[in-house]
């Protein structure tokens, strides 16, 4: 059953975009904006926005008519994305843009992006004006003894009315930037040069923006107006999304970063082509890239990093040639050539990991295995191809559980904090590691409700279980934790989860655009260098749409949408609940309920929860780290409410010194409370901890407490745990 749903929802829709016109949208001249780079949309983007509009209008679960009201919301969100703090655009600019407020819906249906790009070009003009103005002010003599404030958060303030007012605002911004540097280093000449370089870098980055960047910003505003999880990804972002989902990529196995205009090696993946060549080191710079044995080199100095990466990535088994300027060599030195054959790279550091912690229970040692699961990942390509060794969360966790059983653990904690979800398949199959068989989640689209079941009777772990969640545990994490809770299979600890209970269909737009349109683009390409075929690597031409097509429901009938999963044992949330979560999203779908599935709980933790909660609360009342966490939460709320900062040197220095002292003292208090040695000024924590035999994970007192709660559960009712185990095995 689930395989059929997977084909329907996750491999992309099987039908062609027949509703789309067989003709390219008419290309109209865009109004030029002096002072900007006059970035223009290309024909591919016009085709893509028209296709996305049709998919959203016709197939989105949330039936939203694309009209003037939606256009106005998209307009506001787009301006917010460009200039949320009202630091660049003038009130007169925004007033002029008002003529576009109710026409964006018509523009999108027609594939017309000129209005959108005109708005951006005006924004870029203002941005460049502000940075250039700031550069001209750096050498001014500022009075740092004057009592005045700089408002750094202007998001709730009116748009600036005049250029004079804007100059005053940016005078204070420059003064603030210089004052920050002055507090760190007294050499004002050096500080001014440093700030000039920063502003020049901002200008350089602005000038590197291309139409893909503008298109992505606008499409984010459009799709998020419809619902928070319908998303469009431009070609490069689509490639990154799919790498994240599969935890693998095809390339040379190196992490790259832009440094001083050079594409620089920052890390090398063990066992990858770069590592095996023994010819690449951290700090080496890639100056040019060529495809295959005879391909022409393209110089990548000064390129945006994602564009360079697109050239370096590519299909497994293909060759890429690199011109390398070794670390320490000057720019005038001759680079050397290196040929590498791309391979499939498994990102092990971003996969499920384990650790074992030992707890004392009345003189008896209890071993708890803790499995950290960063995402519900699945290599879709290998899965579709029938590769028995495809990369997935469930496969990784099953292997970890086998190891933990051999090491004799008494209980297992699944740590899903910060796990934003991923593959629906993995949510079902991972649940199946802990139950024999049965429904895991209900999926309702606009026509029917399907029940997705674990049909594999094999159980990887039938012992005591806890699941740790937080506000950023979402989607597949909520399916898994909700099912474990509904079956009474384990204890859920942490804070209320995100509340993302919707299903997205990942649609490769390249497979949906009619061939006739592609033929017309190919013809244009002969005469227009702006029209490009698929870039080297894993990118497509038109991008990807993740379209909301259904909602998740727990087997108990409750939706995870909006409300998420409520833990059995609640921890305070360091993540602000009023700022993050589905219930903070204006366009989110509501919570509702349907009939429950035909499932049989294997137990109930309700009888032991009061005692577990009391033991937990008693410990927290005596736990210094818990007190510090509550203080941190209050401090964050206080800081978050602030919008201004003093520009008086003495006042700001006093505040910074006090903040630095308090932060250092707080770090040491937490370290000592966790059994770590206190740090002295100048100490490097990693080195001190290594000498003391301490691991960074030992500072995570909430994770340690989750293991203690499971230890309490094992001790409180061993007969209950045995009964649950027996029921699971039946």
Task: Report, as residue numbers or ranges, the catalytic residues.
Answer: 475, 486, 500
Strand, coil or helix: 615: helix
Backbone angles phi, psi at 29, to 5 degrees: -65, 140
Q: In this structure, are residues 294 and 305 in contact, taking their beta carbons and an 8 Å threshold? A: no
Q: In whole angstroms, what is the distance from residue 629 CA to residue 635 CA? A: 10
Quickly count: other Cβ atoms within 10 Å of residue 338's Cβ: 18
HEC states along 302-361? CCCHHHHHHHHCCCCCCEEEEEEECCCCCCCCCCEEEEEECEEEECHHHCCEEEEEEEEE
Q: In whole angstroms, what is the distance from residue 167 CA to residue 715 CA? A: 68
Q: Which residues pair with 353 in a beta bridge?
A: 372
Q: In whole angstroms, what is the distance from residue 373 CA to residue 570 CA? A: 20
DSSP β-ladder status, 569-570 and 491-494? parallel
DSSP β-ladder status, 544-553 and 438-444? antiparallel
Strand, coil or helix: 450: strand
Q: In this structure, are residues 503 and 9 in contact, taking their beta carbons and an 8 Å threshold? A: yes
- 187's CB contacts (< 8 A; 6+ apart) are none
Angle, CA of 594, 599 and 564, to the nearest 5°: 50
Task: Tell me how long the chain is.
Answer: 730
CA distances from 437 to 420, 519, 554 (A): 25, 50, 16
State the Rg of the chain over Cα: 28
Q: In this structure, are residues 336 and 276 in contact, taking their beta carbons and an 8 Å threshold? A: no
Q: In this structure, are residues 487 and 548 in contact, taking their beta carbons and an 8 Å threshold? A: no
Q: In this structure, are residues 720 and 608 in contact, taking their beta carbons and an 8 Å threshold? A: yes
Q: In whole angstroms, what is the distance from residue 268 CA to residue 324 CA? A: 15
Tokens of 435: 């139950």
Closest CA to 594 of 501, 473, 476: 501
Q: In whole angstroms, what is the distance from residue 18 CA to residue 249 CA? A: 32
With residues binned 3-state (H G I as helix, E B as strand, rest as coil), the percentages for the chain, rounded to 5, are 45, 15, 40
- 173's CB contacts (< 8 A; 6+ apart) are 87, 134, 150
Q: In this structure, are residues 571 and 529 in contact, taking their beta carbons and an 8 Å threshold? A: no
Q: In this structure, are residues 441 and 565 in contact, taking their beta carbons and an 8 Å threshold? A: no
CA distances from 617 to 211, 610, 611, 613, 623 (A): 54, 10, 10, 6, 10
Helices (H), 674-700: 685-692
Q: In this structure, are residues 533 and 596 in contact, taking their beta carbons and an 8 Å threshold? A: no
CA distances from 259 to 20, 254, 304, 329, 482 (A): 43, 15, 11, 15, 45
N-to-C CA span, the chain = 23
Whose structure tokens read 């970063």?
A: 257
Strand, coil or helix: 370: strand
Side-by-side strand order, sheet with 411-415: 353-361, 364-372, 411-415, 465-469, 491-494, 569-570
Q: Which residues pair with 336 in a beta bridge?
A: 324
């Amino acid at each position: 059953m689930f395989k059929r749903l997977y084909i329907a929802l996750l491999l992309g829709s099987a039908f062609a975009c027949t509703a789309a016109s067989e003709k390219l949208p008419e290309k109209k001249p865009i109004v030029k904006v002096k002072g900007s780079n006059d970035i223009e949309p290309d024909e591919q983007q016009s085709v893509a926005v028209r296709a996305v509009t049709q998919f959203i209008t016709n197939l989105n679960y949330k039936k939203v008519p694309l009209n003037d009201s939606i256009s106005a919301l998209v307009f506001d969100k787009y301006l917010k994305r460009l200039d949320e703090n009202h630091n660049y655009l003038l009130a007169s600019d925004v007033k002029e843009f008002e003529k576009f407020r109710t026409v964006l819906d018509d523009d999108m249906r027609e594939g017309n992006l000129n209005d959108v790009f005109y708005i951006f070009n005006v924004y870029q003009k203002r941005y460049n004006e502000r940075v250039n103005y700031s550069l001209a002010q750096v050498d001014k003599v500022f009075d740092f003894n004057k009592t005045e404030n700089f408002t750094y958060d202007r998001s709730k303030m009116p748009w600036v009315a005049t250029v004079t007012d804007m100059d005053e605002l940016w005078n204070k911004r420059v003064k603030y930037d210089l004052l920050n540097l002055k507090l760190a280093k007294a050499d004002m000449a050096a500080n001014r040069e440093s700030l000039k370089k920063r502003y020049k870098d901002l200008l350089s980055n602005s000038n590197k923006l291309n139409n893909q960047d503008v298109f992505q910003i606008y499409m984010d505003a459009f799709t998020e107006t419809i619902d928070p999880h319908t998303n469009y990804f431009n070609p490069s972002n689509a490639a990154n999304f799919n790498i994240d989902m599969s935890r693998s990529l095809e390339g040379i196995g190196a992490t790259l970063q832009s440094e001083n205009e050079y594409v620089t090696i920052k890390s090398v993946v063990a066992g990858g082509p770069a590592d095996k060549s023994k010819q690449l080191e951290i700090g080496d710079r890639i100056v040019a890239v060529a495809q295959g044995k005879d391909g022409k080199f393209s110089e990548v100095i000064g390129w945006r990093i994602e564009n360079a990466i697109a050239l370096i990535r590519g299909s497994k088994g293909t060759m890429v040639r690199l011109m390398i300027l070794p670390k320490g060599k000057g720019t005038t030195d001759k680079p050397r050539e290196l040929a590498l054959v791309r391979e499939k790279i498994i990102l092990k550091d971003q996969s499920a990991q384990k650790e074992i912690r030992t707890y004392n229970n009345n003189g008896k040692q209890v071993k708890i295995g803790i499995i950290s699961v960063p995402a519900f990942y699945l290599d879709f390509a290998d899965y579709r191809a029938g590769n028995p060794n495809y990369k997935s969360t469930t496969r990784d966790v099953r292997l970890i559980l086998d190891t933990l059983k051999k090491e004799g653990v008494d209980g297992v904690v699944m740590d899903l904090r910060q796990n934003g979800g991923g593959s629906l398949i993995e949510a079902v199959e991972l649940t199946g590691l802990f139950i024999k068989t049965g429904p895991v989640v209900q999926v309702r689209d606009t026509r029917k409700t399907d029940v997705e079941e674990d049909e594999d009777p094999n159980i990887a772990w039938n012992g005591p279980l806890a699941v740790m969640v937080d506000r950023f545990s979402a989607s597949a994490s909520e399916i898994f934790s909700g099912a474990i809770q509904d079956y009474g299979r384990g204890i859920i600890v942490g804070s209320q989860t995100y509340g993302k209970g919707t299903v997205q269909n990942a649609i490769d737009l390249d497979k949906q655009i009619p061939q006739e349109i592609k033929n017309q683009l190919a013809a244009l390409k002969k005469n227009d260098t702006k029209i490009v075929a698929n870039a080297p690597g894993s990118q497509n031409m038109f991008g990807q749409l993740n379209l909301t097509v259904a909602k998740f429901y727990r087997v108990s009938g409750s939706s995870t949408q909006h409300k998420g999963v409520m833990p059995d044992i609640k921890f305070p949330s360091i993540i602000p609940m009023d700022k993050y979560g589905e219930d903070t999203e204006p366009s989110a779908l509501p919570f509702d309920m349907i009939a429950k599935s035909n499932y049989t709980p294997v137990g109930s933790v309700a009888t032991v929860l009061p005692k577990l909660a009391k033991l937990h609360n008693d410990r927290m009342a005596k736990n210094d780290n818990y007190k510090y966490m509550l203080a941190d939460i209050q401090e964050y709320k206080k800081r978050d409410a602030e919008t201004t900062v003093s520009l008086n040197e003495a006042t700001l220095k006093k505040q910074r010194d006090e903040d630095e002292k308090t932060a250092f003292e707080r770090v040491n208090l937490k370290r000592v409370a966790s059994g770590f040695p206190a740090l002295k000024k100048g100490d490097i924590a990693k080195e001190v901890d290594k000498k003391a035999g301490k691991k960074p994970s030992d500072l995570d007192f909430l994770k340690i407490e989750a293991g203690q709660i499971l230890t309490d559960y094992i001790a409180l009712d061993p007969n209950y745990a045995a009964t649950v185990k027996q029921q699971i095995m039946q």
